[in-house]
Structure 1
């Protein structure tokens, strides 16, 4: 699904249980539970057990269930855009971008190791 909209697989962590992609580009992705991981060794990111949004070429908008921890507060990520070899994450009016290479591999959720082993 992600490659269809020009996004790397590594934007989603390991552990996806399923997804729904509708003709209008709206989507839902399901995990066994909330998932936390470090992005580029600087940001703690949390995906809810269900994330949703709308996909278009190079853009994920109206995101639900995606958060980044800033100091002691979890802030929602509303949009992710791709421009060339960079991905930009929008948290309210603020954005930050990362090189596409940071998303070559899907991250592992903290605490998922025992779930993945049980499924194997």
Structure 2
């Protein structure tokens, strides 16, 4: 003679079936390398040092890195900063040295930024080394990632495009 299953057995069987289904449908989160914007703070640097157009980057064990942007671009901070499509340097905690691919405009002249560093422990300042000049800037302007601009509007309503002035006519 067959016995009827008890209701609590059916409920247990149903719960086990659903828990197996839900556990099998959950996949572990993919763990890839951090974005360059997540990587910079791990080295004590603000994430907004680079524009939002980073296409890829590589970081070697010795700290040397290469960042590829989608295109050359400008960002206006306290000074106008120009980013080449390829940026290289040495990343260490609190600094980027041997920097190539970032320039700053001062008095209509462009200067290579050789090094970027912050105080340790962190303060409100960041330093751009341009030749033998060390320029202290407010770090807050580099805390958020900024969008790139292909051309930059300068006072007087003119566009400035890397050494070539383009006049806008109204």
Residue in 2 that maps onto 1:11: 49
Cα distance in structure 1, aligned partners of 2:50 and 2:90:
15
Alignment partner of 1:96 is 2:141: no
Report the Cα offset of residue 102 of structure 1. Answer: 1.4
SS of the equivalent of 1:101 reads: helix
Residue in 2 that maps onto 1:50: 86
Equivalenced residue count is 110
Larger mean CA deviation between 51-60 and 65-74 belongs to 65-74
TM-score by length of 2: 0.62
Residue in 2 that maps onto 1:109: 148
Report the Cα offset of residue 107 of structure 1. Answer: 1.4
Residue in 1 that maps onto 2:76: 38
Cα distance in structure 2, aligned partners of 1:48 and 1:111:
11
Alignment partner of 1:21 is 2:83: no
SS of the equivalent of 1:10 reads: helix
Would you identify which runs of 4 or more consecutive aligned residues in structure 1 move more than 3 Å? none
Higher strand share: 1
| 1:64-108 alpha-carbon deviations (Å, 9 max, x no partner) | 011011222211000001012211001001111122211121111
TM-score by length of 1: 0.86
Higher helix share: 2
Identify the structure with bigger relative contact order (alpha carbons < 8 Å, sequence gap 6+).
1
Report the Cα offset of residue 111 of structure 1. Answer: 3.6
Which 5+ residue runs of structure 1 have no aligned equivalent?
113-120
SS of the equivalent of 1:2 reads: helix
Q: Is the 8 A contact 2:74 2:149 kept in 1?
A: yes
